Amino acid sequence: MTASPRPPGRPPERPPRRARLRDLPPLPEPAAQPVAGHLGRWGREPLALLREGATLGDPFLLRLWRPAVVGASPAWNRLVLGDLDTFRSRGSLSALSPYLNGGVVMTDPPDHAPRRAELNPTFHAKALEALRADLEAVVADRVPTGRFDALDWSLDTVPAMLNRAFFADRYPERELHAFFAPLHRPLPGPLLPRPLAFRRVHARLAALVADPPEGSLIAHLAGLENVVEEVRVSLAAAFDTTAHTLAWALWYLAEQEGELDAPRIRRLIQETQRLYPAGWLGSRVASRPFTFEDRTFPAGLLIFYSPYLTHRRADLWPEPERFVPDRFDAKPPPWGYVPFSAGARICLGMHLAKLMMEVALTPFADGGTRIVEGDPEPRTGLTLSPRGPLTLLRP
């Protein structure tokens, strides 16, 4: 089924009413409290809650502030990520954060495809190669010696790389760090409204759009409608996801023996994203009833897909808890590896993130970096991050 184009000027369709528990088919669910359901565990231990649910069945039910159904099989991912008309972004968890509530991230059919067509050329892998030398220069200025915290280093280096790529270093560094800082804080930090801060960011971006640095990403985007919001959301989506993944990748790089060439670096990044996908949970809202494995689900249902769970399925990944970069010598299972989502909504900044991480890891790939001490266990927030610190030693 395809969506009918909306006449110009007509407001978006109203979302369906929220699905209720009684509307759902019988589903397994983790241990819950009688009244609060799973809300308490969701706040304290969401990863443990998800993992328990996955042992009971796929999909399974969570009773949160509203009923939610979680799936992690390739078939579920293909359904939810492949049908943009049925599974909508409007009303999803992204809308809870002012950092992500806007731009193409929140655009649904029929407007999504033409908007992506406008944005895709700027973020194509071949187009971004023009930025490689500039990004290498940013990293070269920041390569540490002695003891350093990989998490702190990544949180400092990724904003500098984004500043070079988007603005040719013309965004004041302190302002950019202030904009990014809440994204690394525990919840509810990234969800809190920041109207004054966002007005300052929008004013700064508008000035850069009006006079964009030659060769920068913002120069390529400057002619598009609503470009300020699009760039603001792109920056937010790129910062913590890349920084947290890079920190983990540095930790695991320090465990490797010998020098790493470019293919080994890429496999290490892939395996890092398998074990610790920054976007550990994605969400959609069903715009109409749908069927999955002979069960019918109602419109208005909150839908979760979880790269964290999918990437740890033993039927897809042998010894899923082990860090084994060479497993990516073979192609990953279709719809079983989704660190950047998949389908028509695959992450717009995927190639930029890959390029930044590859460039940032290369100076450390000489075999000399070693682990001192640290805590790489994941901490949940808007994205997945290492608890840290991640103390490494570089000669």
| Spatial CA neighbour of 69 closest among 20, 117, 4 | 20
Does residue 10 lie in a domain region? no
- Range list of H helices, 332-389: 350-361
* Cis-peptide, bond into residue 59, ω within 30° of zero: yes
Written as six digits, the tokens of 147 are: 């003891």
SS3 at position 13 = coil
What is the rounded CA–CA span in Å between residue 357 and residue 362?
9
Residue 297, CA distances (Å) to 25, 122, 180, 310 in order: 7, 38, 38, 21
Q: Does residue 148 lie within any of the structural domains?
A: yes
In a domain, 61, yes or no: no
The token duo for 346 is 């695959």
CA distance 33 to 259: 51
* Residue segments in the chain with a per-residue pLDDT below the cut of 70: 1-13
Question: Which residues make Cβ contacts (< 8 Å) with residue 214, sequence separation at least 6?
Answer: 168
In-domain check, residue 147: yes
Is 4 contained in some domain?
Answer: no
The whole-number pLDDT of residue 15 equals: 75
Whether residue 21 contacts residue 38, with contact meaning beta carbons closer than 8 Å, is answered with: no
**Cα–Cα–Cα angle for 381, 101, 340, nearest 5°?**
60
Q: Sign of torsion, CA 26 31 37 43?
A: negative
Structurally, the chain folds into a number of domains equal to 1
Domain limits for position 230: 72-394
Task: State residue 12's pLDDT score.
Answer: 54
Strands 384-386 and 378-380, by their bridges, are: antiparallel
Give the type of residue at 250: L
Instruction: Give residue 211's pLDDT.
Output: 97
Does the residue 53 lie in any domain?
Answer: no
The answer to whether position 284 is within a domain reads yes
Q: Which residue has the tokens 């960011």?
A: 201
**Residue 303: CATH number of its domain:** 1.10.630.10
**Residue 81, H or E segment:** helix 74-82
The whole-number pLDDT of residue 6 equals 41
Does residue 25 form part of some domain? no
- Helix ranges (DSSP H) in 132-261: 132-140, 150-167, 173-180, 195-210, 217-221, 227-253
What pLDDT score does 242 carry? 98
Q: Give me the pLDDT at residue 259, please.
A: 95
pLDDT value for 2? 33
Q: Is 118 exposed, middle or buried (0-12, 13-18, 19+ CB in 10 A)?
A: middle
- Residue 37 is classified by DSSP as B
Q: What is the pTM of this model?
A: 0.95
How much is the mean pLDDT over the chain?
95
Of 170, 160, 161, 168, the residue nearest 214 (C-alpha): 168
